[in-house]
Amino acid sequence: MSHDNSKPLMRFLLLFSRQGKLRLQKWFTPMSDREKKKIIRDMTTMVLARQPRSCNFLHWKDLKIIYKRYASLYFCLAIESQENELLALEVIHRYVELLDKYFGNVCELDIIFNFEKAYFILDEFLMGGEIQETSKQVVNRCIESSDMLQETMEEYMSKPAF
Amino acid sequence: MSDVVEKTLTALPSLLSLDSQPGSAKLSSTSKLGNLIRGITELTSKHEEEKLIQRELASIKEQVSSPNTSMRQMKELMVRAIYCESLGYEASFSYIHAIKLAQQGTVLEKRVGYLAVSLFLNESHELLLLLVNTVLKDLQSTNLIEVCMALTVVSQMFPKDMIPAILPLVEEKLNHPKEIIRRKAVLALYKFYLIAPNQVQHIHNKFRKALCDKDPGVMTASLHIYLQMIQENPEGYKDLTASFVTILKQVVGGKLPMDFNYHSVPAPWLQIQLLRILSLLGKNDQSTSEIMYEVLDESLRRAEMNHNITYAILYECVKCIYTIHPKSDLLEKAAKCIGNFVLSPKINLKYLGLKALTYVVQQDPKLALQHQMTIIECLDHPDLIIKRETLELLFRITNAQNVTVIVEKMLEFLHSNTDDYTTIDLVGKVAELAEKYAPGNEWFIETMNTVFSVGGDMMQPDIPNSFLKLLSEGFDTVEEDRKLRLFAVDSYVSLLQGEPGKLPQRFLQVISWVLGEYSHLREELEPATVMRLLAKLLDMKQTSSETKSWVLLAMTKLVRAGQVFQSAQEVSETYGSSMDTVLRQRAQELQHLSQDCELRARVLPQDAGLEPLEVDSSLSFLDGFVSEALAAGAAPYKPPHQRQEELAQAKALSLEPYGLSLPISMSSCSIADRQSPTLLSMSSGLSGDSTDLSHKGSSTTLKLDGVKRVWGREGYLAQREAVEEAAQVEVPSPLRSPSQQAEADSSHSQTPTPTPTPEPDQEKQQLASSLFFGLSSQSSVCLMGKSEPTPQRFRRKAKGQASSSGAAEQISNSLVSAPSAVDNFLCNNLLDSNITSQVGISSSEQTSELSQGPATTNGTCDTEAESTDGDIKGSNPSLIIGDNGLVAADPTPHKDPGSPKDFCLSSHLPAELSELCRSEITPLCSNQSLGLSACHVHKEDSLVLVVFITNSSDAAIRQILLDLDSEQLQVSCVSDSPVEDVTSHSVAMHQFSLTVKRPSVHVEVVGMVSYQLPVGTPQEVQFSYKLPLTSFIRPLTVSTEEYGTMWLSFSHDTKQNLTLISDGEEPLTATLNVLKEKLQLHIVEIIGMEGIIACQLLRDQPCLMHCRVHADVLAVWLRSPVPDLPDCLIYHCQRALQEH
């Protein structure tokens, strides 16, 4: 049951294409650039080498890697090894649902061309390596946010344009 | 999908981008970024890509630094810079502009700025400091989006040292009217809690408020923090159990708004979080577990839908049920659930089923029996991941009967495995099993050979270490030991005659050591032959110099036979001029020792492995050399941290206090008065086989002899023993209620008959019977108690540990050694109802005692919580009820002995102690016949723990044996002749003196009392006693000069801001006086806005504190030679000031 206390349960999330091109990276613990590069390389080779119909979990060092392919894009999430793998799979799925709703039938190109939006959605969904949000809260926040946005708009309008 | 969700998701786009309309996201592909991306995809070579990106970066660089670039353009440029970085090209010039954008942009530009910062920089980047002001400003903004963004970035990456600067603002947000802000604030605090727990410990009561928040989202977020805190200290939160249960009940019962559903399952993430919390709270605690049985049953029942998320919940449920105090019908349901997982055709479920099974078999190996055919199938599964998980499961059910088959399977996997991490892990496990359960010498040596060749140079260094230790110390009779060594020698000689070039270096080192030490046992083996084989190793190109020095050492031992003098001389000549100093040293040793038989016999006695050598670690034999050198004008030695400090001082402005009072140096005082027998110098210089190797500082060195000799036998072995003890407990199945036992037996009697698979494969059946052999017989072994333990072949000899493992009923022996995996299920063994209740009592009392900490802080929170809190939809989960119930004994000193019971016991205190300051007498545990209470008495130079044994029965209690142990403390008995018998209705007293081994905020003593009633078997009762570190703190009276000297020589430090107290007096003095009074510190001096304070842990572990008033906080810097002490002390300082 014990786990490294100073680390969140999720460690990183990577999105990459079938060709191994990185589309999105999110690191929940501090990591050096070299470590990041190594992880990205390891993940793409490991995940892409998997046979179809094998299970969606992998071991990597002391972490579990949960991956799932959606069309041409692989989602790959690293979690503590005692964590619940199925739950992690649903975290990925939830994120895909959010992307899908936002872009409307999301495809890899949407994420390539609008990667910053994909990051924003992710930041609202996960915070500091934990789920911030399950369903209703997205709702609430967004309704609230559009309220807030109006405030913003007002402020925006009242400011001199650059 | 519900209306609300629709609405949300349509609202999302407008939030995310002002400029692009919903659905128009794809339009931006015509932007500059779009052009860049398209440009790149059209390229054919890496070289072209590089050229294009460099051009792009150059143009971005030019534009960002132009004063005419608007923030809006800047935002667009940042996105492009992020893109280039993500392709692996450095755009560090843009970092500062990202910060500027976050600082100066309007909301949406700011957002990109923050994103860029979070992608570009990591937590330790120095530019991040520039972000602090921006975050501060945004946290105070009236614009909610800005506040949200600031909170998000804070939880992603924020310099740890700067947390105090923004903490008050984040804290404030906990009261924000908008729940989204409250939720983000809670998560930000959670992040702070993870990276700097000390900083947020004063707001624990506010977390409680978040837990009671009327918005379920905020409540959910607060559970992250609670999970962490409960993991660290489950005792402190037992009072919340009922509340968590109520919340879970409501969630499972569908009481939350529909929009919390995920695929029609109510708030699954929340459910899982709660289940995890419950399992921590219910672990080893029957009364707490009982509160949750009903809701767990309900959770199992409700989670019926066929969807991943329900399985995820079920898995947590099963884990929880098997972690808490067992209840038979729940266990049964959980077992069925695991069965469904394992048998599922869905591979992910099967995997999770195996994982659950692995978790569960540790206490109930029979479950594995039920699924043996599935397990066998998984062992041959084409997916390696499944195979690997199955091996993990098998590892847990290994015993002396099935060890050969399981190890064979593991080695098989190892041979096909390519992943280093897995190899290291599995090799360790094989070695562990081999050592524990090896059926014979031959098998053991051969298995270890495979371990060494496969594990190679990456395996954990303790594997060869403990292997050699085992060989040298022996495990059984002299004859058996000899046989094992002989077998090893034979095996290694034939390996060296084969192709030694293929063996890993570590293995060669092991081989050389064994041949050097034991080849003389094989009489027909000529030393010359061994010498030749070893010399061959020296000549191989791939042999590392580390290995060579092992070989040379082995040769030195071999020359004792005398005949190989010639070749020894040759070798020592070759290496006598080696560039490698260690090798040269070894060659010199070989040279000299081969000539001087007498010296050799003294330095390298045969079978020396058994006598511990003393090592003069102070290197006092060098004193003469040092003083000569000093006399000749050499600079005195300075410890590394001091050198560094001086270096820093030389380089930069001194920021440290007392920089100027740098003393001449500590070294001047030492040399003359440190005289020690120089006799020892010889032995430590020459014979420590590998002490020289440690000069190289390489962590991979086999420090085998060094370890053994330096540590001596007792200390090390005691540890080892404890581990093995624990490992032993792991295997046997726990006792169950008779009915369950019967039922389990019947289910197990079915299993050997091959019913599960339609056409049982003969081979698989055979494998199954060999794999699961011993699992069935074990339950009977276990029933008889430990009187017939599984024979462990290579179990080390008992080292005269007078433990109480006789015929006494073993109640949870391993509580003392407390290895986490094992103690989960201790309660299962507590079948004897009589004793169970005792333990129950003791633990609940302990609970009340321990939770007094939170209780006092809650005092302030309660009213607040009650007034603001609407709870979850007003249905009042009993969150607050628990708090008030906690009026417990307060073990802090300076308290009037209040209760009559206390008074009555205190009269038993010896006169010399009764005058001193002491804690209240706290009951530890009790049953019909006897009760234990304890208090601690503060003496000037020690802390005395007094344990009272009250005999409340009508008969005398005899053979009382009190045994205390602690992870953090050194416990020694004070009484000369401890009382063994207590007559009816009287009190006996034991005294123990406590000193601190390893500082910790709270320290705990666990103990066991065993005794004998006139009738019946010997009894044992466990208890534990917790006390704060402050009990050990004593003032340290030093002058300012001495303080300065000490300050520089201490290497462990911590810094933090504390709140100042201002009640009339000058704040600094007032604050320091509070600390002095509450923590027994000594105020050395107060100069203006600065103060210096000193204290010590009892007599010899000093800690210094430097305080400076800074704005309206007290910046505190603590230093000590003892690791962790500064951190612990700062905790208590905070505590003291808070309570003031």
Percent of chain B with pLDDT over 70: 74
Best mutation target among A14, A47, A127 (most B Cβ atoms within 10 Å) is A127
Strand boundaries in chain A, DSSP class E: 10-17, 22-27, 57-60, 63-70, 73-80, 126-127, 130-131
Closest CB to B29 among A8, A27, A113: A113
Q: Which of B65-69, B860-864, B1017-1021 has the lowest mean pLDDT?
A: B860-864
Work out whether the CA dihedral B312, A14, A6, B221 comes out positive or negative.
negative
Q: What is the pLDDT of residues B989-1029, one digit of tens each?
A: 888 888 888 888 788 888 888 888 777 777 888 888 888 88
For residues B965 and B971, the answer to whether their CB atoms sit within 8 Å is yes
Instruction: Specify the pLDDT at position B871.
Output: 38
Task: Answer whether B390 touches A (CB < 8 Å).
Answer: no
Above 50 in pLDDT, residue A162? no
**Measured between alpha carbons, how far is B1056 from B161 in angstroms, rounded to an integer?**
9
Q: What mean pLDDT is predicted for residues B906-922?
A: 78
Q: What is the pLDDT of residues B1030-1055, one digit of tens each?
A: 888 888 888 888 888 888 788 777 77
DSSP state of B918: B
Above 60 in pLDDT, residue B900? no
Where exactly are the structural domains of chain A?
A: 10-157
What secondary structure does DSSP assign to B1091-1122, as a single string? EEEEEEETTTEEEEEEEEEETTEEEEEEEESS
Q: Which of B401-405, B582-586, B916-920 has the lowest mean pLDDT?
A: B916-920
pLDDT band at B704 (very low <50, low <70, confident <90, very high): very low
Mean pLDDT of all residues in chain B? 74
Instruction: Verify whether the Cβ–Cβ distance B156 to A113 is below 8 Å.
Output: no
Residue of A nearest to B104 (CA): A162
Closest CB to A59 among B220, B280, B385: B385
Min Cα distance A153 → chain B (Å) is 9
Instruction: Verify whether the Cβ–Cβ distance A135 to B383 is below 8 Å.
Output: no
Instruction: Verify whether the Cβ–Cβ distance B311 to A59 is below 8 Å.
Output: no
Tell me which residue of B179, B734, B793, B751 sits closest to B445, measured CA to CA: B793
Which tokens go with A138?
A: 């997205």
Task: Answer whether B37 touches A (CB < 8 Å).
Answer: yes
Spell out the residues 6+ positions from residue B777 whose beta carbon is closer than 8 angstroms to its own.
Answer: B401
For residues B541 and B562, the answer to whether their CB atoms sit within 8 Å is no
Q: What mean pLDDT is predicted for residues B309-331?
A: 93
Instruction: Verify whether the Cβ–Cβ distance B82 to A116 is below 8 Å.
Output: yes
Task: Answer whether B906 touches A (CB < 8 Å).
Answer: no
Contacts 24+ apart (CB under 8 A), B893-901: B893/B917, B893/B918, B893/B919, B893/B938, B893/B1031, B895/B919, B895/B920, B897/B921, B901/B933
pLDDT band at A5 (very low <50, low <70, confident <90, very high): low
Which tokens go with B886?
A: 């906690």
**Measured between alpha carbons, how far is B551 from B558 in angstroms, rounded to an integer?**
10
What secondary structure does DSSP assign to B998-1018, as a single string? S--SEEEEEEEEEEE-SSSS-
Above 80 in pLDDT, residue A110? yes
Above 60 in pLDDT, residue B484? yes
Residues of A within 8 A of B228 (CB-CB) are 5
Instruction: Specify the pLDDT at position B354.
Output: 92
Tell me which residue of B176, B225, B231 sits closest to B201, measured CA to CA: B225
pLDDT band at B186 (very low <50, low <70, confident <90, very high): very high
Best mutation target among B7, B9, B43, B115 (most A Cβ atoms within 10 Å) is B9
Place of tokens 């019977």: B769
Tell me which residue of B367, B371, B278, B365 sits closest to B325, measured CA to CA: B278
Spell out the residues 6+ positions from residue A28 whose beta carbon is closer than 8 angstroms to its own.
Answer: A8, A10, A11, A12, A13, A126, A128, A129
Task: Answer whether B260 touches A (CB < 8 Å).
Answer: yes
Min Cα distance A78 → chain B (Å) is 15
Instruction: Verify whether the Cβ–Cβ distance B28 to A114 is below 8 Å.
Output: yes
ipTM here: 0.88
Best mutation target among B385, B388, B418, B823 (most A Cβ atoms within 10 Å) is B385
- For chain B, report the end-to-end CA distance as a whole number of angstroms: 54
Residue of B nearest to A88 (CA): B312
What secondary structure does DSSP assign to B763-831, as a single string? HHHHHHHHHSTTHHHHHHHHHTGGGSPPP-TTPPPP-----S-SSS---STHHHH--HHHHTTHHHH--
Q: What is the pLDDT of residues B2-18, one digit of tens each?
A: 444 444 444 444 444 44
Instruction: Verify whether the Cβ–Cβ distance A102 to B157 is below 8 Å.
Output: no
Q: Which of B208-212, B506-510, B971-975, B1030-1034 has the lowest mean pLDDT?
A: B971-975
Above 50 in pLDDT, residue B698? no
Instruction: Specify the pLDDT at position B860.
Output: 38
Q: Half-sphere exposure of residue B357, counting CA atoms within 13 Å on the CB side?
A: 33
Above 60 in pLDDT, residue B368? yes
**SS3 for B997?**
coil
Above 60 in pLDDT, residue B758? no
Instruction: Verify whether the Cβ–Cβ distance B385 to A90 is below 8 Å.
Output: no
Instruction: Verify whether the Cβ–Cβ distance B8 to A114 is below 8 Å.
Output: no
Instruction: Specify the pLDDT at position B859.
Output: 38
**Measured between alpha carbons, how far is B1009 from B925 in angstroms, rounded to an integer?**
10
Residue of A nearest to B197 (CA): A6
Instruction: Verify whether the Cβ–Cβ distance B70 to A162 is below 8 Å.
Output: yes
| Full-model pTM | 0.62
Q: What is the pLDDT of residues B39-62, one digit of tens each?
A: 887 877 888 888 999 999 999 999
Q: What mean pLDDT is predicted for residues B159-183?
A: 89
What Å distances lie between residue A156 and A120, A149, B107, B493, CA to CA? 20, 10, 8, 84
Beta bridge partners of B963: B1008
Q: Which of B263-267, B721-725, B1020-1024, B1051-1055 has the lowest mean pLDDT?
A: B721-725
Instruction: Specify the pLDDT at position B327.
Output: 92
Stretch (H or E) spanning B55: helix B46-65
Quote the Cα angle for B358-B361-B366, to 5°.
Answer: 135
Q: What mean pLDDT is predicted for residues B967-976?
A: 79
**Measured between alpha carbons, how far is B1075 from B1087 in angstroms, rounded to an integer?**
17
pLDDT band at A4 (very low <50, low <70, confident <90, very high): low
Instruction: Specify the pLDDT at position B600.
Output: 77
Q: What is the pLDDT of residues B214-255, one digit of tens each?
A: 888 899 999 999 999 999 889 999 999 999 999 999 999 988
Above 60 in pLDDT, residue B302? yes
Instruction: Verify whether the Cβ–Cβ distance B72 to A139 is below 8 Å.
Output: no
Residue of B nearest to A121 (CA): B16
**Measured between alpha carbons, how far is B1013 from B959 in angstroms, rounded to an integer?**
9
Percent of chain B with pLDDT over 90: 20
More confident residue, A71 or B474: A71
Instruction: Specify the pLDDT at position B320.
Output: 95
Instruction: Specify the pLDDT at position B1120.
Output: 86
Instruction: Verify whether the Cβ–Cβ distance A152 to B143 is below 8 Å.
Output: yes
Instruction: Verify whether the Cβ–Cβ distance B269 to A87 is below 8 Å.
Output: yes
Strands A63-70 and B930-938: what pairing?
unpaired
**SS3 for B1085?**
strand
Instruction: Specify the pLDDT at position A86.
Output: 93
Instruction: Specify the pLDDT at position B611.
Output: 55
Q: What mean pLDDT is predicted for residues B1069-1094?
A: 85
pLDDT band at B890 (very low <50, low <70, confident <90, very high): very low
Above 60 in pLDDT, residue A152? no
Instruction: Specify the pLDDT at position A90.
Output: 92
Which tokens go with B74?
A: 């800047």
Instruction: Specify the pLDDT at position B749.
Output: 40
Residue of B nearest to A98 (CA): B9
Task: Answer whether B136 touches A (CB < 8 Å).
Answer: no
Min Cα distance B66 → chain A (Å) is 15
DSSP state of B634: P
Instruction: Verify whether the Cβ–Cβ distance A32 to B122 is below 8 Å.
Output: yes
Above 90 in pLDDT, residue A87? yes
pLDDT band at B651 (very low <50, low <70, confident <90, very high): low
pLDDT band at B1100 (very low <50, low <70, confident <90, very high): confident
pLDDT band at B561 (very low <50, low <70, confident <90, very high): low
Residues of B within 8 A of A101 (CB-CB) are 9, 12
Above 70 in pLDDT, residue B714? no
Task: Answer whether B15 touches A (CB < 8 Å).
Answer: yes
User: For the domain A10-157, what is the CATH code?
Assistant: 3.30.450.60
Instruction: Specify the pLDDT at position B732.
Output: 38
Residue of A nearest to B124 (CA): A30
Min Cα distance A113 → chain B (Å) is 6
- For chain A, report the end-to-end CA distance as a whole number of angstroms: 55
For residues B120 and B153, the answer to whether their CB atoms sit within 8 Å is no
Task: Answer whether B608 touches A (CB < 8 Å).
Answer: no
